[in-house]
Each structure stands twice: as C-alpha cells, then as structure tokens.
Structure 1
Amino acid sequence: MAALNAACDIVVSDIIHTRHGGEHHPASHVLRRSGLSIWIDLDQLAEANQQSLFFSVDRFNLLGFQQRDHGPNFKSNAPLVSLGDYVRQIAAELIPEKTVKTAHLLTFPRILGVGFTPLSVYVACDAAGIDLLYIYEVRNTFGDMHAYIGTPSSGAAILEADKIFHVSPFFPVEGCYRLRLRLDARSIKLAMRYLIADRPALTATMRGTRMRLGTGTLLYSLFAARQFPFRPIISIHFEALKLWLKKLPFFPRPIPPTRWSRAKDFDKAN
C-alpha cells in the first residue's frame, strides 16, 4: 500500500452505483455523484488534527473525524477505544504471526458535525508496506453496522464476502460481495461488485484524487465535490424514491447479524 502524503489526505472522487437488471432485481438504475473522503493514519491523529484550522479529530469543526463513529466505539457508551488499537487487536486475533506497522482508514468526514459513513475501509500493513488486513465497515440508514474482515494473501487482493447485512431495502440479504481497494500516492480506487446467484446485481466504484489535507485543499475540495451537511442521507433517500417508483420488490430489515464476519481471497473462495 502506498505511503500517505501526510497524516491525513483529502480525497475528491466520482462515485458510481450501477444496478444491473435481472431476474431477482428487474430494474436497471445508475447513480453518479461526487464524493469527499479522507485517508487518515490512525497512529497520527494528533498530527492530522494540526493540518488545518478547519479540520479536527474528535472535535467539532467545518470538517471533522470522530473515532466514536467507527469500530467498537459505534453506539457505545464505554470509554473511547483507539481505532489503531482496534485494528491491531483484530489482526492479533486473525493473523497472530504477523505484525502490524501502520493502520489507515478511508472514510467520509463529518461536515459541521453532521455525517453518515455508508462504507469505511481500514488497511493494516507490515513494515514493508504489504497489506495484512482489510476491514470493510458498512452502515445502513437504520443505524446498524457490520464489518467484513479479510486477510489477503497478496497485495491488492480481491476479497469475497457472503452478504449477511441488510443495506438496501431493494435487495435481499443473500449473494456475495467482491471488494477491492487500490491506492497510490495520488489516487484511490475502490470497487464493489454484488452478485446474486453468480450474476451481477450491483457494481459500485469510487475513483478519487488524493491531496494533502490543508486549509486550501479542504476548502477547494468542499466546493469541488459540492458537499454540505446531510447530503449523503438526502441523496440516498432520493435514489430510494426513484427505485420505489420503479416498483422494485421491497425487502424489510431483518435482525442485524454479529458485528463482523470473515471475507476470503476471491481466488481461494472459488
């Protein structure tokens, strides 16, 4: 995994969701919007907190990152758990023979204290920069969260995970995901393909440009990505209305599963 440009980078991206028509999901639909993310070193949160007057860690600001939005802190009244420690705890449980040197997180920041993070991705690397662990943390608009965790055998691996978490009421809780994150010093590419009965049901991609987070890049990125508080929630519900008008089948929310489940290398899963 490529090194960070700074303790925290800002990412302006194009996000595309393509719903493929088929027997189990009859209507085709495409969503395209701009996105604003951060790529943050979980071991350098104090340094990230100093990069801009308008960005803060665990405090209110124009743009902010809150550890309580993620991992074991989500909906917890217990003392705050360091997310870097959380990643290392998971790694120690799943790959005790490996040593995590760095832990990074790709996520959506809060804007004026308001945020919704449908997907966050943790990446743990060894001293040589080899990816050891991925945590794909998924949230839905019902206030639930689930993490798909994979330990790739090779860099930039495609992970496959059985879908056990309810995200959209217009898809059943069945099938599987194929997930891939690619990163270099200037860009981030994230891809997710959702399959039902081995046929593509949804393809989601995020292609973004990385910049060191500073006051200038922060203000530019907010303008370029046309971001404002509540935008993700408004966008999600507006697209849901479009799908409802297309008379797609509606699947009610089931009881949420356990907090996390295992993903496998795609090559090994087949």
Structure 2
Amino acid sequence: MPLRHRFRYRTYQWLVDVDRLPRRRFSAKDHLGLGPSLRDNVATFTAAQGVQLRPDDRVLMLANARSPFGFVFDPLSVFWCLSSTGELRCVVLEIHNTYGERHAQLARPDAAGRFTLPKQFYVSPFFTVDGRYDVTLRLDADHVSVAIDLVQHECRVFSAAFTGQPRPATRRAVLKAALLTPFVTYQVWALIRMHGVALWLRRLPVIHRDPHIPPEGVR
C-alpha cells in the first residue's frame, strides 16, 4: 500500500537578477560553485553543459535569501537564463539535500515550460536515485511557479509545487513577508526534518545513501 503524506505551508522566495542582488542577502558560495560572483558560477556551470552565456544575457534566480544571522537552506533554486530579447536559452535547477551536498542540472523547457530530467541525486532518504522528474515552470509578470513530479517505474511517487505572485521588494513588502512567515529558511530546514521523522515513525524504509560526486561546474 502506498503511504500518503501531504502538507501545505505559506512561504516566500526571492526572484532576483543575479547582476542586481540585494545587499547581504545572497552569496556566490551558496550556489553552484566558488567563483567571485553568482553570475560567474552560473556561467561556469552552463558552459560545462554546453551553453555559453553571452555578456548581455540575463539570469533570474528564484531562491531563499540568507537569514539575518547568515543561515540559508535552499532545497531547490531555479535559474532562468534569458537572451537580451527575453528568449529563454535554458534553465538550471540546483538542489541541496540535508546532508550538505548539492547538485545541478540544465534543461531546455518547451513552450509550455515543461521538461523531464533523470533523477541523479539523493534528496529524500525514502527514495532511491532512480526514475525521472517531470517539471513545469512558469515565469511571467504576475505569476511564478515550479511544479515537480518524481516518477519511478512509471508511477508518480512524489509531487512538490511552489506558486506565487512576484512583487517589488520594497521595505514594506519585505517586512510584511517576514512577519507573515518569520525565519523562512529555518522553517524550511526544520519542516523537512519534522516530516522526515514523521515518515520514519510510520516505518517508511530509509534508503542507503552513497556519497555524491557533483557534476562539472558544481562544488
């Protein structure tokens, strides 16, 4: 029998241009590599995957910001790489697990924002590194969303989705978001562990984890 477990929470993320990052909220070392800038890290990774970013390309990132105490945890960060005319060149999905490892994959969505990627990274302790991700992304002026289904043996075994409305990061908007969802990056970190313990107590088997070797362009 499949074990069903669902939850839904209020949260928020930042949608930012990597060339115009808010001060003290983002660090290059939190994403992909150890280069001098976040854009350099993205460009290094995409080049290793066969996509050379041009100087006038724009890169938008959907991710969690660092807390006032410097902590950040991003299960999934999404990078949209756009030409100077707004054409989507590729997207990069960067995944962090709770074991301090990270992985990234490049994709080219279709016109509807859909694409498929093979599962290559140990994320949940309850799933093997097998199967595929069916992903749908949406990014426009009034809506941003990320939906991911994990498919194993042609069965959907896990689904996750984030949806929101982009708003200018005014002081009032940032304060309101922080008051409605305080310490958001700690919340994400804690909730993942809480639900993991709940599933373990329901006797869901834990899958052995082998050490991860990041792909070229990721450290």
TM-score, normalisation: structure 1: 0.73
Quote the residue 1:15 is aligned against.
none
Give 2:134's match in structure 1, choosing from 178, 190, 200.
Answer: 178
Structure-2 separation of matches of 1:83 and 1:155:
27
- Which residue does 2:82 correspond to in 1? 125
- Counterpart CA distance in 1 for 2:80 and 2:138 is 11
CA deviations on 1:158-198 (whole Å, 9 max, x unpaired) are 12111110001111111111112101112211100100011
Change in Cα spacing, 1:143 to 1:66, as seen in structure 2 (3 Å) is: same
| Residue 140 (structure 1) aligned with residue 140 (structure 2) | no
Distance 1:212 1:39 in 2: 10
* Kept after mapping to 2: 8 A contact 1:163/1:177: yes
Amino acid aligned to 2:100: G
Q: Are residues 1:149 and 2:106 paired?
A: yes
| Cα distance change on mapping 1:187 and 1:227 into 2, 3 Å | farther
Kindly indicate whether residue 31 of structure 2 is the aligned counterpart of residue 70 of structure 1. yes
CA distance in structure 1 between the partners assigned to 2:118 and 2:154 by the alignment: 12
Closer/same/farther in 2, CA of residues 91 and 183 from structure 1, 3 Å limit: same
> Aligned equivalents of 2:170 and 2:75: distance in 1?
25
Residue in 2 aligned with 1:196? 152
Instruction: Structure 2 unaligned segments of length 5 or more: list them.
Output: none
| Residues in 2 aligned to 1:97 and 1:114: alpha-carbon distance in whole angstroms | 29
Counterpart Cα distance in 2 of 1:118 and 1:86: 18
Which moves more between the two structures, 87-96 or 113-122? Answer: 87-96
Distance (whole Å) between structure 1 residues aligned to residue 131 and residue 56 of structure 2: 31
Partner residue of 1:32?
Answer: 8
Matched, 1:41 2:17: yes
| 2:173 aligned counterpart, secondary structure | helix
TM-score when scaled to structure 2?
A: 0.89
1:134 counterpart letter in structure 2: V
Cα offset for 1:228?
A: 4.7
Check whether the contact 1:148–1:260 (CA below 8 A) recurs between aligned residues.
Answer: no
Contact 1:72-1:86 within 8 A present in 2 as well = yes
SS at match of 2:120: coil
Distance 2:185 2:43 in 1: 32
Unaligned runs of 5+ residues in structure 1 are 1-21, 50-55, 58-63, 74-79, 262-270
Greater relative contact order (Cα < 8 A, sep 6+): 1
Asked if 2 retains the 8 angstrom alpha-carbon contact of 1:147 and 1:260, the reply is no
Change (3 A) 1:97 1:223: closer
Aligned residue number for residue 3 of structure 1:
none
Paired with 2:190 and 2:45, the residues of 1 have a C-alpha distance of: 34
Match of 2:43 in 1: 88
Distance 1:173 1:238 in 2: 22
Once the two structures are aligned, what percentage of the paired residues are identical? 27
Q: Aligned in 2, Cα 1:162/1:185: closer, same or farther, shift over 3 Å?
A: same
